[in-house]
Structure 1
Amino acid sequence: MSLPRLGVVIVTMGTRPRELAALLTSVEKQQTPATRVVLVGNATPLTDVEVADNVTKVPLEENLGCPGGRNVGLRMLSDSGEVDVVIELDDDGLLVADDVFSTVQQLFAEDPRLGIVGFRVADEQGHTERRWVPRLRSRDPLRGGLVTSFLGGGHALSMPMLDQIGLWPAEFFFGHEESDLAWRALDGGWKVLYEPHLVLQHPATSPARHAVYYRFTARNRVWLARRRLSVPLLFIHLSVWTLITMARTRSMSGIRAWWGGFFEGVRESCGERRPMRWRTVWRMTRLGRPPIV
């Protein structure tokens, strides 16, 4: 059994220098070293970032968003021909164990149809918030297995899978890009695995801290549905999430921004429309999360 070659992509805006330095150190300390590491600077020159010899710095003049920045790194690793599995990590995350890469390597070596492995995200006290568990009605963050989604903060992607289904939806910029990628992977016959023993330590921050959170969340939700769902499921999905959002959101400014993003998603092009097959819908339903919620 041959072991896949590992690459790493980290995207930063240069606003978390201490966290980034700690993350890079934790990457260097892995028992199984990465063949190549790409550090992408979204609108930042990276001149003050010290890196190891196997790290390539890619400063960008423009902020391409998280998915767009990741695509830059993924294309570099794909063009190199030296990487079979890519591990992507948030710049304020931390690998607390030194066997994460070894475990990722073993998982992909054992299953050639494994497309995505999602890490368990935990705060500094080891607590995993409910919204970080990629399942419905699951309060146990330690229950792993096949799922329909994953967290963007820490995960691993099969390069053959990406060659088949394509890269991140860069136009999303921020929000729901993981769902789009996971749904395409499932529709392509790949597996998405949640492995709770792969831990990324991450601060327990709220995504609503970003000024564009409500707008992009709504816009990208509409784009996701328009791109990946048949017409009946599209209307059910958006109706369910509109009700959920209105029930959960306590900020009037947030609600206004959400509706603005919703109608932006309706008006503007969503990119290529390729609804998932009905057998994929059934597969997701059997995995516990049909694509209507």
Structure 2
Amino acid sequence: MRVAVVIVTYNSADVLEGCLRSLASGARGVELAAVVVADNASADDCLTVAKRVADLPVITVQLGRNAGYAAAINAGVDALDLDELDAIYVINPDCRLASGSIVPLAECLKTPGRGIAVPYMVNPDGSLQPSLRRRPSVRRAVVEAVIGGDLAGRLGRLGELVTNPREYERPGPFAWATGAAMLLSVPMIREIGPWDESFFLYSEETEYCLRAADRGWLTWYEPASVIEHIGGDSGTNPALAALLIVNKVKLFRRRRGRPAGAAYYLAVLLGEGARALAGRKISKASFAALLRPSEVWLP
């Protein structure tokens, strides 16, 4: 299969070279047609780093401003000739591909109806990084508010986040997955169109997977493909955590309407409020942001 890679960067020079260096090995067994580095006006030397990895077919795209993750993906895809490709692998710059890890994902997309293939994601120490999600619902939001997302994700199908390690042992369809690594089929890209740029950061991958599912395209998980993800700081940075929560509620309301959206909002607000009272800093920021979403910080 002919595969291109799109990497979105924003002040990512410290991790980008490691990602690029892993691509040649990770792409064994497929034709790596192009590597697009779409840069959101980084203040560091991201683009210099991208250009010095000489053994890769690197294309750099400069957005000229910090336009957000979805906008940078769209710019990266626009720089490619879809007629020459079978799939596009969208990955974060803090990802490292295991040898031959694109092939199992590419094989997944050969099955009709599969539009997105996602890998088994690990932390730098090799431990599982939960990346799979079930469809958002009011019931799941209530359960996660009461007992927490990690525990809810281990008890049957109660939680949205899949945290039970046994569920990562076998391939299968899921509602959505983290956007740090997604192989997208070109036929699906043509049908469902660009990523939604109204989500500056977070929930854009949720919206994309759910919109694809609306059109009959599955998001398929394949554990034979392994990728290391260093991970961002949404779990420790209050401003980013607040943006994540607000966009999560925004997307649910947009898809399900006001009555269900209001119930979902109250459930999430309850959960963040309880954790804020327990002293969790990022929940304090998230709770405040839910009360005043128009004041949420953007980079």
TM-score (norm 1): 0.78
Does residue 74 of structure 1 match 2:77? yes
Residue deviations 1:69-113 (CA, integer Å, cap 9, x gap): 111112222x4532221101110110022x22222222112x121
CA distance in 2, matches of 1:260, 1:54: 45
CA contact (8 A) 2:118 2:181 kept: yes
Residue deviations 1:115-164 (CA, integer Å, cap 9, x gap): 111222101232113x4343543332323311101111111112222222
SS at match of 1:207: coil
Deviation at residue 16 of structure 1 after TM alignment: 3.5
CA contact (8 A) 1:218 1:265 kept: no
Deviation at residue 201 of structure 1 after TM alignment: 0.6
SS at match of 1:227: helix
CA distance in 2, matches of 1:153, 1:191: 18
Aligned ranges 1:161-180 → 2 under 5 Å: 161-180=188-207
Give the unaligned 5+ runs of structure 1.
269-293
Which range is displaced more, 51-60 or 113-122? 51-60
CA distance in 2, matches of 1:113, 1:241: 33
Match for residue 9 of structure 1? 6
- Distance 1:6-1:244 versus aligned 2 partners, 3 A rule: same
Does residue 34 of structure 1 match 2:37? no
Aligned ranges 1:86-97 → 2 under 5 Å: 86-97=88-99
CA contact (8 A) 1:117 1:193 kept: yes
- Letter of the 1:191 counterpart: L
Give the unaligned 5+ runs of structure 2.
135-152, 155-163
Does residue 182 of structure 1 match 2:183? no
SS at match of 2:31: coil
- Letter of the 2:10 counterpart: M
Aligned ranges 1:173-252 → 2 under 5 Å: 173-203=200-230, 206-249=233-276, 250-251=278-279
- Distance 1:263-1:83 versus aligned 2 partners, 3 A rule: farther
CA distance in 1, matches of 2:258, 2:198: 22
SS at match of 1:193: strand
Which range is displaced more, 100-109 or 229-238? 229-238
Find the partner of 2:286 among 255, 258, 279. Answer: 258
**Sequence identity, in percent?**
27
- Letter of the 1:33 counterpart: E
Does residue 154 of structure 1 match 2:181? yes
CA contact (8 A) 1:134 1:194 kept: no
CA contact (8 A) 2:238 2:282 kept: no
Find the partner of 2:19 among 12, 16, 23. Answer: 23
CA distance in 2, matches of 1:74, 1:210: 29
CA distance in 2, matches of 1:48, 1:195: 31
CA contact (8 A) 1:220 1:265 kept: no
- Distance 1:266-1:222 versus aligned 2 partners, 3 A rule: farther
* Equivalent residues, number: 260
- Letter of the 1:125 counterpart: D
Deviation at residue 267 of structure 1 after TM alignment: 9.9
- Distance 1:121-1:100 versus aligned 2 partners, 3 A rule: same
- Letter of the 2:127 counterpart: H
CA contact (8 A) 2:2 2:85 kept: yes
- Distance 1:53-1:175 versus aligned 2 partners, 3 A rule: closer
- Letter of the 1:100 counterpart: S
SS at match of 1:212: helix
CA distance in 2, matches of 1:252, 1:119: 31
Please give the root-mean-square deviation of Cα atoms over the aligned residues, in Å. 2.6
SS at match of 2:265: helix
TM-score (norm 2): 0.77
